[in-house]
Amino acid sequence: MHEPTYRQAISHSWRLAWDHKLLLIFGFFATLLGQMGVVEILGKISFPSLTTTLEGGHILRTFVAGFSGLSLSIAGWAWFGWLIAIILSLAAILLVVSVISQGALIHASAQWAKKDSLPSTDKSWHSGATHFWGLLLVNILRKSIVVILGACVGCAVVHSVFQPSTALGMVYLLVVFVIAALVGMLISFLAIYTASYMVVENYPFSWALSAAWRLFVKHWLVSFEVGFIILGLNILLSLFAVLGLIILFIPTFLTWFITFLAGNSILWILGSVVTPFLFALFVVFLGSWFTVFSTSVWTYLFMKMHKVGIISRIVHILK
């Protein structure tokens, strides 16, 4: 049996994401949980995430202050309570669908890797629903640890600002960031392998986590290599999205120019609304497609690592 390569995994996953477009629905909802791999981890513990956290805290305080200042009648409070209940119910439904969709993508990718034929979306959905609680626990643990790591980096940023020695503060910040990034990537790999063991091999959570750790220890260098390959492809996807924005902006610019000549404000309004809408659809499509693609890459390589074994490209080159 020939040893699987990263090129085969990418080609295999590309064909799945391209040929089975119904999986884009699963990809859309699974994207709401974050991408599988190092992309989300590095994004969440980066410096901009600290600013986002602080802004989020300010928004929360503003909301609480506004809520405490509400003066409503009994009927008004009842309607407000119903509104909150509806919002929470919709959020819960969205969470359930997103978690099941993540499991469905893993199952579909595994079936594609086994049989090289289009998987059944019904069976994939059923598999995701069957492993809902385990997948939910994996995502909760992963998100919680990422939040803690982001908070650690945020504290390091604050500490470096008030550090008398600027150089020492930057070194301290760099060390904390590197450690947080490595720990975050480790957690990401364990989450991927644990979810795969639960969905593909039907392991319970504790068994899946233990097997995921053993798989990572055996293929730790492969895991980092694949993670950075996915990161590089994500950067290319971002550049493609920017190119798409430029292409979509050209008709808008022409519309604005015609509006300036004709003095018709309706065309200006139309161009201002249509372009952001089309770009939003374009970004949603790219995000959903890349989630299907990256999930398939990880699942394909997981199955090969689990069944056959994969040698790191770096080790292969050095031999």
Contact predicate 219/305, CB 8 Å = yes
Question: What's the domain count of the chain?
Answer: 1
Asked if the structure places residue 195 within a domain, the reply is: no
What angle in degrees, to the nearest 10, is found between the helix axes of 74-115 and 265-307?
A: 50
**Which residue's entry shows tokens 């590309």?**
14
Q: Which residue has the higher pLDDT, 161 or 89?
A: 89
**What is the residue range of 125's domain?**
6-129+219-318
Contact predicate 98/288, CB 8 Å = no
Please give the model's pTM, rounded to 2 decimal places: 0.84
pLDDT band at 81 (very low <50, low <70, confident <90, very high): confident
Contact predicate 84/72, CB 8 Å = no
Q: Does residue 226 sit in helix, strand or coil?
A: helix
Residue 47 has pLDDT above 80, yes or no: no
Residue 27 has pLDDT above 50, yes or no: yes
Q: Which of 190-194, 202-206, 303-307 has the lowest mean pLDDT?
A: 303-307
**What is the pLDDT averaged over residues 103-125?**
87
Asked if the structure places residue 213 within a domain, the reply is: no
Share of the chain above pLDDT 70, in %: 79
Query: Average model confidence (pLDDT) for the chain?
Result: 81
Residue 49 has pLDDT above 50, yes or no: no
Residue 105 phi/psi, 5-degree rounding, is -65, -40
**What is the pLDDT averaged over residues 41-56?**
53
Residue 319 has pLDDT above 70, yes or no: no
Q: Who contacts 256 (Cβ-Cβ below 8 Å, separation ≥6)?
A: 267, 268, 271
Contact predicate 47/146, CB 8 Å = no
**What is the pLDDT averaged over residues 99-119?**
87
**What is the pLDDT averaged over residues 71-92?**
83
Asked if the structure places residue 61 within a domain, the reply is: yes
Tens digit of each residue's pLDDT (9 = 90 or more) over 130-155: 999 999 999 999 988 888 888 888 78
Asked if the structure places residue 46 within a domain, the reply is: yes
What angle in degrees, to the nearest 10, is found between the helix axes of 74-115 and 121-130?
A: 120
Asked if the structure places residue 66 within a domain, the reply is: yes
Asked if the structure places residue 197 within a domain, the reply is: no
**What is the pLDDT averaged over residues 65-86?**
74
Q: Which of 45-49, 247-251, 256-260 has the lowest mean pLDDT?
A: 45-49
Contact predicate 185/225, CB 8 Å = no
Q: Which residue has the higher pLDDT, 19 or 96?
A: 96
**What is the pLDDT averaged over residues 105-131?**
88
pLDDT score at 196: 94
Asked if the structure places residue 204 within a domain, the reply is: no
